[in-house]
Amino acid sequence: MDRYIRNKQLDGFGPEAQERLGQSRVLIIGAGALGSVAAMYLAGSGVGSLCVVDFDNIDITNLQRQLSYTEGDVGKSKAEALASRLRSINSEIEVEARNAFLRRADIAALVKDYDLVVEGSDNPETKYAVTESCEAVGIPYALGGVAQYRGQAMSWRSGYPGYSAFFPLGAEAGGYMPCSVGGVFGPAPGIVASIQASEAIKLLTGIGQPLLGRLLLIDVRTMKFQTVRMD
C-alpha cells in the first residue's frame, strides 16, 4: 500500500489509475538513453509487466547519458542489464529481456501482445517500422528522439496522426545524423525519456492530456519548447 502512495495522492489519479498501471503490459523498444530511463520510471510507477528489447551491448561511451548502466556493465547486453536494473527497482513487477535485433515482421508480431509501446530506438527506419506496426493493430505508443542538443516527443492512439504524418521523409532525405557522428548532450535524452514515461502513464491510465496530434520539440541549449500540431 505504501509503495505507490505518492501516485494515489495525486489529484485525478487515485487507486483506480494505479490499478490500471498494475494490469498493464508495456513493450520498450530500445534500451539506450531513451528506453532505459523511461523504463525505470515505469517500473517505479508500478507498470505490471515490462519487456525490454535491444540487440546492442553496453559501451563505455554510453555512460555519458545512459545512467541506468554502470562501468561494471560495459560489454553486457543492454536488454539484460536494464531488465536486471528494473527488477532491482521493483521486485513486484514482471520484467522480460529480449536480446534481439527486430526486423519489421518481428515487430508486427510482437507489439500486438502489449497495451503500449515506448519507442526509444535511435534510427528512423526502426521508428517507421514500430509506429506502422502499432498503428496497424491499434496499439498506442509514446515516441521520443534526440539529436545533439535537441529532442522530440509525441504520442499516438487510434484516431490521431502518427509518426509518418509528422515525418513523411525517409532517413536519408530527412538528414538523419547518429550520435556517434554528431554527438549528444547528456541530459537531453533524460528530459525526453521522462516525457515519454509521463505520456505512457497518461495513455495507460486515462489521466491528463497526452501529446496526441502534437509533436513537442525541445532545444536544451536555449531551453525553448515548441509544439507542432497536426490537425
E strands, 38-175, in order? 49-53, 94-98, 116-119, 141-147, 150-156
The verdict on whether 134 is a catalytic residue reads: no
E strands, 47-197, in order? 49-53, 94-98, 116-119, 141-147, 150-156
8 A C-beta contact, residue 212 and residue 227: no
- Name the 3-class secondary structure at 128: helix
Looking at residue 116, its amino acid is: L
Q: Which of 28, 81, 179, 204 is catalytic?
A: 179
Sheet holding 116-119, edge to edge: 94-98, 49-53, 25-29, 116-119, 141-147, 150-156, 214-219, 224-229
8 A C-beta contact, residue 194 and residue 41: yes
Catalytic machinery residues:
179
